[in-house]
A and B are shown apart, each in its own frame.
Chain A
Amino acid sequence: MNRLPTSLFIVGILLLTASCSSVQLDRVNFGWPVESVVTVNNANVFEDVRYAVSAGVGKLALEEFQDSTALRGAQLRLLRNTEGYYFLTGPRFKSVYVFEPGESSLSLSTAIAVSETGLRNPALNQRPPYVELIDGDNVRILLTSSDKAEVKR
């Protein structure tokens, strides 16, 4: 008999907690209308003034070029898609890196291989639900956050 109120209290707390965590805003569009062209500084950090994003790229340089300083002075292309993933690439990159935002970090979600020889002058366009990668006149690839959706040459 004495356990019933305690059980009811616990159940109530659980229900309340569950209902709080289930509040979610839908139809969120994180997409940037246009990519940002950012330059990596000597500290191996890029900064985008308009969207107030900055990040260190030493590990990315190590991953792509096996040299943590390889991106110093390089111009990178950064675009956030509608889902909230950050797409990052640049000249000589063989992949487009897709990052998921976390607490003070961007975690690699996928590295989508797009060129065997490396991109020459890539650009990212917002083409919901895709992100379009173009490189010169001949490369046009539609990307999702996990893979290539369509390749047009």
Chain B
Amino acid sequence: MKTFLSFVLMLGLFVSTGTAQLSDFAVKKSFEDRFKVIAGMMDSANALPQLDSAKLAIDQLQSDFVRHEAFLDKALYPSTFSERMASLRSLHVLTYDRIYLIQTQGIKLSEMESRLASLTSRLDSLTTQRDQLFGELQESKKSLNALREAVRRLSSNLTAKDKLIFALVDSIFQPYGSNLQQVADVHKEAISQKLEKANVVTRIYEIASDNVKFLEVTQLQGKDYASVIDQYQTFTNRWAGLREKIAAVGAVSQPLPAQAGKKQMGQKGAKTISQAEKPAGASETEHVDSVLTEWRTKLNGTFWASLAREFSNAGVSVAPFNDAPSFSASIRSYVASARSNNVDPAPFVETVWKEKIDKEWRDALSKESMLGKVEYAALDKQVSELAREGIDVKLILYIAAVIAIVILVWILLSRRKKRDTPEAQST
């Protein structure tokens, strides 16, 4: 409004100048002053009606000065009258787009704000539920069925939290489009504030920590691991995406001030990552990276240890392994050894490989982050060949036995024939 009034004042001054004898300098100065006022109006505009006024002012400026165009072309060197007018009109279009975007984003933002509140509240209730489930898990260790049920519910709870936290993140970033480099600083600051208000990074840290704790307190079966690996992979990928976005808006990158005490798992809502739990000087994002590494280490450790137990429980002695290459080497070594020593492959092939590994562990082992489909297929082929070799030996023995029986019968029949012939001859 103030700008608009100054514009009107400027117009009045020009009109008064226009009635007097014209100084060329005054014409040039008047043009430049009105130009600045209109540009300022557009710069400070925050509603479309203000831009309509600016549009009228631009038209008026052009109309007032077009008769001085030849003079202004020289006086405004290196610019020209038409270039200046074009720049004003271009600024008007850009400002219109900017205000339109802000207004439409404002509507989206208010929708997202309510979604954010709802998601945050659901996350908090899931956190409470998670604590109950961890308690149930401790109590139900005596009964296998109850334990399985507790693990299933806890796993679902963690998956739901994973999904919710990233839905929350999407809700924060969605109104600003995919290219954050083009987002204005003021909007970046708004995103940053929302991330901090919703405690996004702390919540992500908390969820990753819960998953580590989950792996520590539960003993998963082979068939459980495929979904756990998928969950880790999805979480890691989404965190990588979010990490880039956080860097783009410059949020949550500063080291936190020192805090005493440990995080209370049972308390409602997310807490800031405590100093006791994070390395000195690390930012929250770096701390999430570190807990993800811990998650990965724990997942790998429990996975290969559980797999090794399948062999030892069946009394099959394979070389120790703790990762994909050593597992492959161990299986290949066992197969080669069984083949060369003519060991009965049945316990290994039938009891462990077919009944356990292929039925319960195949999905998890086939994940590219574990063994991979190609390597699993290669191992499976080797084990199957070992089984066929076992079948072939039996077949040979069977055929040999049949041949022996046939020969025996033939010998007996030939002796009987010899005995019968002299009697016939005598009669």
Show the binding face of A for B, using Cβ within 8 Å: 33-35, 37, 77, 123-126, 134, 136-137, 140
- On whether the beta carbons of B75 and A33 are closer than 8 Å, the reply is yes
Q: What is the CB-to-nearest-CB distance from B407 to chain A, in angstroms, rounded to a whole number?
A: 123
Q: What is the CB-to-nearest-CB distance from B76 to chain A, in angstroms, rounded to a whole number?
A: 9
B20, B24, B77: the one within 8 Å of A125 (CB): B24
Known: A136-B20, A137-B20. A35 touches B25 (CB 8 A): yes
B26 at the interface (CB under 8 A from A): yes
Main secondary structure of the interface of B (DSSP, over half): helix
- On whether the beta carbons of B24 and A137 are closer than 8 Å, the reply is no
Task: List 8 tightest A-B contacts by C-beta distance, closest first.
Answer: A123-B23, A33-B74, A34-B75, A134-B21, A125-B24, A34-B24, A33-B75, A35-B25
Between-chain CB contacts (< 8 Å), 27 pairs: A33-B24, A33-B71, A33-B74, A34-B24, A34-B28, A34-B71, A34-B75, A35-B23, A35-B24, A35-B25, A37-B25, A123-B23, A123-B24, A123-B25, A123-B26, A124-B25, A125-B22, A125-B23, A125-B24, A126-B24, A134-B21, A134-B22, A134-B23, A136-B20, A136-B21, A137-B21, A140-B21
Q: What is the CB-to-nearest-CB distance from B21 to chain A, in angstroms, rounded to a whole number?
A: 4
- Cα–Cα, bound, A137→B75 (Å): 23
- On whether the beta carbons of A34 and B21 are closer than 8 Å, the reply is no
Q: Look across to chain A and name the residue whose beta carbon is closest to the beta carbon of B23.
A: A123
Residue from A33, A35, A134, A137 whose CB has the most chain B CB atoms within 10 Å: A33
Q: Look across to chain B and name the residue whose beta carbon is closest to the beta carbon of A50.
A: B77
- Cα–Cα, bound, A126→B21 (Å): 14
- What would 5 more interface pairs be, CB under 8 Å, given A125-B22, A125-B23? A34-B25, A123-B23, A123-B25, A124-B25, A134-B22
Categorize the interface residue count of chain B: 10 to 19
B residues in contact with A136, CB < 8 Å = 20-21
Q: 1/0 per position for B2-34, CB-CB distance to A under 8 A?
A: 000000000000000000111111101000000
A residues in contact with B26, CB < 8 Å = 123
Residue from B23, B26, B75 whose CB has the most chain A CB atoms within 10 Å: B23
Show the binding face of B for A, using Cβ within 8 Å: 20-26, 28, 71, 74-75, 77
Q: Look across to chain B and name the residue whose beta carbon is closest to the beta carbon of A33.
A: B74
A residues in contact with B25, CB < 8 Å = 34-35, 37, 77, 123-124
- Cα–Cα, bound, A124→B77 (Å): 19
- Cα–Cα, bound, A30→B22 (Å): 22
A residues in contact with B74, CB < 8 Å = 33-34
Q: Look across to chain B and name the residue whose beta carbon is closest to the beta carbon of A127.
A: B24
Q: What is the CB-to-nearest-CB distance from A77 to chain B, in angstroms, rounded to a whole number?
A: 8
Q: Look across to chain A and name the residue whose beta carbon is closest to the beta carbon of B19.
A: A137
Q: Look across to chain A and name the residue whose beta carbon is closest to the beta carbon of B21.
A: A134
- Cα–Cα, bound, A77→B77 (Å): 19
A residues in contact with B71, CB < 8 Å = 33-34
- Cα–Cα, bound, A140→B21 (Å): 8
A residues in contact with B77, CB < 8 Å = 33
A residues in contact with B22, CB < 8 Å = 125, 134
- Cα–Cα, bound, A123→B30 (Å): 14
A residues in contact with B28, CB < 8 Å = 34
- Cα–Cα, bound, A136→B21 (Å): 7
- Cα–Cα, bound, A137→B23 (Å): 11
- Cα–Cα, bound, A147→B290 (Å): 88
Q: What is the CB-to-nearest-CB distance from B26 to chain A, in angstroms, rounded to a whole number?
A: 7
- Cα–Cα, bound, A126→B194 (Å): 61
Q: Look across to chain B and name the residue whose beta carbon is closest to the beta carbon of A134.
A: B21
- Cα–Cα, bound, A15→B28 (Å): 51
- Cα–Cα, bound, A140→B75 (Å): 21
- Cα–Cα, bound, A136→B71 (Å): 21
Residue from B20, B22, B25, B77 whose CB has the most chain A CB atoms within 10 Å: B25
- Cα–Cα, bound, A70→B329 (Å): 101
- Cα–Cα, bound, A112→B71 (Å): 26
Q: Look across to chain B and name the residue whose beta carbon is closest to the beta carbon of A135.
A: B21
Q: What is the CB-to-nearest-CB distance from B219 to chain A, in angstroms, rounded to a whole number?
A: 82
Q: What is the CB-to-nearest-CB distance from B336 to chain A, in angstroms, rounded to a whole number?
A: 90
